[in-house]
Amino acid sequence: MPFLSFLLLFPLVGALIIACIPSWKVRAIKIIALCISLINFVVASGLWIVFDNSTAKFQFVEHIGWLPFFNMNAYIGIDGISLFFIVLTTFLVPVCLLVGWVNISKHVKEYCLAFLILETCMLAVFCMLDLLLFYVFFESVLLPMFLIIGVWGSRARKIRAAYQFFLYTLVGSVLMLLAILLIYFQVGTTDLQVLLVSEFSERRQLLLWLAFFASFAVKVPMVPLHIWLPEAHVEAPTAGSVILAGILLKLGTYGFLRFSIPLFPEASLYFTPLIYTMSIIGIVYASLTTLRQIDLKKIIAYSSVAHMGFVTIGLFSLNVQGVEGAILLMLSHGFVASALFLCVGTLYDRTHTRLIQYYGGLVHIMPLFSFFFLVFTMGNLSLPGTSSFVGEFLILVGTFQTNTWIATLAATGMILGGAYSIWLYNRVVFGNLKPLYISMGSDVNRREFWIFVPFVLAILWMGFYPQVFLDPMHVSVSNVIQHGAYIS
């Protein structure tokens, strides 16, 4: 059975069905969209179950005939690197639909359509084995996300934030398109499987690597190209922040690992000091900036910049431990940051403010919510036993083998992470009960409870038994590293 084609096309089929339903049948639209996204998650989980951990070859490969006159016969397939991003994407989309189940009351039909189309675009990014098609879907995610921020955003600056997000990421990708054209005219194809056995001169590798870097660094985002992220998070609806932190920030780091490192190994080695410098600056700057924020969403947004700095350091440690740690941290961040944004959304639905000065004493009236918030906070500061600890530990182990000073400086991010995470939790949960809470309502309801539970299980599962996640990716990661002749 063509599993990947099903994953890509099923949300589009669902979108077509929903497009034919009258807009006033809101409940039917929500149920159909949720069922479609859940079925996709089940299929993606099935891919994980039948995945062969012993090979580095792409699996479930399918042929896509397009532009045959230009010798562009593309393929889709996944390996141990892209497998978990497929699962994470299909997991978060139904969560986003459930988050808007009550809160989204206008343009519900368009809201569901936007997320189903966005799901197809994100899945295509992780499946595509063609460089040009990767670029097409890499940029296609901008349009539905632009609408999600601009239409269903929560404040008056949402239009400005949507344009800022769109233009920053679009402009950064122009150079990558030119680089893809250069590759096509040299090799005669954009098929990744052919490009992996092709060679580029050292000078050309440097130019191509910089062109790809311009696109991926904005998506990560790396400091100082991060300006768009806090604004987009603050203005986006809760579901928009979840998908932005959970998946879209991973597109840049996935691009580094899938294309920049294996296609341009000499350039990757040459520019490693640049990546290290930007990442260390990003970790320290973003962590210190987090400590002075007063908006709950901005606190999590800046902490995401710091965590993605850890990821880029792990990727360019150029050894198996560092790269596997980076992938684990990406997955962990997808759960932890998304869950924290869900917590902020839960509070905002009751109080209609995200300013931390109005919060305090939450444990007195919302003990169950305080427990969930505690688990996610501990995951954010990388407490042993949570998913983030395993990823950051492996990154530090891998980086220590490459550069002791960089590993030492990166470790300061764990200290600062503990500082801003505990500071946030203490300010919100403990202390005297603020008047704002007196009329805000009860603890988490049934829908919110069952949204939070899978995140708790995922964070603890990855923290206590990471081998289940490491086994499928190990051979693929080793193949990428050995392809660049980094192991001496």
Which pLDDT score is estimated for 487?
Answer: 33
Question: In angstroms, rounded to a whole number, what is the distance separating the alpha carbons of residues 368 and 346?
Answer: 12
Question: Please, are residues 323 and 317 in contact by the beta-carbon 8 Å criterion?
Answer: yes
When the pLDDT of each residue in the chain is averaged and rounded to a whole number, the result is: 87
Asked if pLDDT for residue 230 goes beyond 80, the answer is yes
Asked if pLDDT for residue 330 goes beyond 90, the answer is yes
Question: In angstroms, rounded to a whole number, what is the distance separating the alpha carbons of residues 115 and 134?
Answer: 19
Task: Tell me what the mean pLDDT of segment 142-171 comes to.
Answer: 84
Token couple for 12:
């589009």
Which pLDDT score is estimated for 155?
Answer: 67
Residue 302: inside a domain: yes
Domain of 354, in residue numbers: 264-487
Task: Tell me what the mean pLDDT of segment 166-189 comes to.
Answer: 86
pLDDT tier, 275 (very low <50, low <70, confident <90, very high otherwise): very high
Residue 324: inside a domain: yes
Question: In angstroms, rounded to a whole number, what is the distance separating the alpha carbons of residues 249 and 120?
Answer: 17
Describe the chain by its helix, strand, coil percentages, rounded to 5. 75, 5, 20
Which pLDDT score is estimated for 485?
Answer: 47
If you compute the radius of gyration of the chain from its CA atoms, what whole number of angstroms results? 22
Residue 25: inside a domain: no
DSSP 295-325: BHHHHHHHHHHHHHHHHHHHHTT-SHHHHHH
DSSP 77-91: EE-TTTHHHHHHHHH
Which pLDDT score is estimated for 366?
Answer: 85
Q: What proportion of the chain, given as a percentage, has pLDDT over 70?
A: 95
Structural domain count, the chain: 1
Residue 481: inside a domain: yes
Which pLDDT score is estimated for 272?
Answer: 92
Asked if pLDDT for residue 488 goes beyond 50, the answer is no
Distances (CA, A) of 45 to 57, 85, 361, 368: 19, 11, 40, 29
Residue 217: inside a domain: no
Residue 225 is which amino acid? L
- DSSP one-letter code for 432: S
Question: Please, are residues 189 and 195 in contact by the beta-carbon 8 Å criterion?
Answer: yes
* CA-CA-CA-CA torsion sign (189, 317, 309, 348): positive
Most confident of 51-65, 280-294, 452-466: 452-466
pLDDT tier, 235 (very low <50, low <70, confident <90, very high otherwise): confident
- DSSP one-letter code for 429: H
Residue 330: inside a domain: yes
Residue 160: inside a domain: no
Q: What backbone torsions phi and psi does residue 332 show, to the nearest 5 degrees?
A: -60, -45
Which pLDDT score is estimated for 313?
Answer: 94
What global pTM score does this model have?
0.92
Asked if pLDDT for residue 267 goes beyond 80, the answer is yes
Question: In angstroms, rounded to a whole number, what is the distance separating the alpha carbons of residues 384 and 254?
Answer: 26
Q: What proportion of the chain, given as a percentage, has pLDDT over 90?
A: 38
Residue 168: inside a domain: no
440-483 pLDDT, tens digit per residue, is: 557 888 888 999 999 999 999 999 999 999 999 989 888 888 76
Token couple for 9:
């096309």
Residue 130 is which amino acid? D
